Amino acid sequence: MSNSKGSLPPRRPGAQQSGRVQPAKSTASGKAAKKKAKKRSPFARMVRTLLMILLVAVIAVLAYMGYLYYKFEQGGFGVDQPVQEEQLASSKPLTMLLLGTDNRPEHPSNLTDVIMVASLNPVTKSATVVSLPRDTYVELSGYKKTKINAFYSRFKGKEDESGILAEDEMKTMMSKYLDVKVDYVTVLDFQGFRDIVDELGGVDVNISADMCYTDSVDGTDINLKKGPAQLDGDEALDYVRYRKSNCSPKTEASDDFDRNKRQNEVLNSLVGQMQSLGGVLKIGKVLDAVDNNMKTDIESAQIKSLIATYWEISKENVEFVPVTGTWRSPYVYINDEELETARKSLQNRIAGVN
């Protein structure tokens, strides 16, 4: 009788082995068991992948913050002057004036289409932004009665005679008008605005109505459709500038108050864009883009402090206070109660009062 394994009858389940042990089979089973034990679940693999992505993101952000720090240290952005510790944005509330001029290559001008004043408080991590219509009639002691958007241009024309920068004159005038001390001023032209939006990959808005207007003289060609939209730099500029229609059929006209609402909407959306990871990684390009289209008296050290202090400010903690009034051509006569509310809102933000 043959003694080969092939001639043996099959072993009954659970039957005890007799004779020699079969180590090869046991070893193979052990390896399979170990291999099975080491196999990761889909959840574990997903967690590992997410951790790797997070690590890469953190490294990228830190590297970019290092680049920005280097850029500021080299005096590549902002005013190269020291700032005392107690004057930094991290230590005290600040109020800033933002002017948007309609200056662009195809239409040189120093009229200010955008006039905003923002007060920021580092303790409450909050801000108040007051928007004023460009056609606001200003009657202020010591100044000629005129539209608010004409002051910067007038001051510019008198710089050589007065020896005072137009930006400083605007800070003084707006401090008096709103009864708050304006610490800094930034002037951004149309091209700078376009570049910011484009470098951030566009801006998300909800267009309330169709907008159509053309002007062959300065190259304006506005054609926006109602509904949610992501706008590039040119389209975003069209969106905040639109006032009236000369198309056929005509689209609904828009006044200064509507323009201010749209300016606030775009600014709010840009805040969200900047706070995203993609926005963080694009800061350098944004700064480079506006460098030739912006004037500011904010020191480099102060800019670093502003970024560190308010980078994660919640959009819910940014209060927008548009000021309205009555349009009687060619002026907007501001509602006195609304103007006083705006002043009080800025003052309360500085004082840390809700």
Report field, pTM of the whole predicted structure over 0.75: no
Beta pairing class for 126-132 and 325-328: unpaired
pLDDT digits (tens, 9 = 90+) for 183-197: 999 998 888 888 888
The pLDDT score that the predictor gives to residue 14 is 46
Q: What is the mean pLDDT of residues 39-47?
A: 61
Q: Taking 80 as the threshold, does the pLDDT of residue 175 lie above it?
A: yes
The pLDDT score that the predictor gives to residue 74 is 54
| List of domains in the chain | 75-351 (3.40.630.190)
Scored b (16 or more CB within 10 A) or e, 135-155 reads: bbbbeeeeeeeebbbbbbeeb
pLDDT digits (tens, 9 = 90+) for 109-128: 788 988 999 999 999 999 99
Residue 114: name the closest of 168, 167, 222, 186 by CA. Answer: 186
**d(C-alpha 13, C-alpha 158), whole Å:** 106
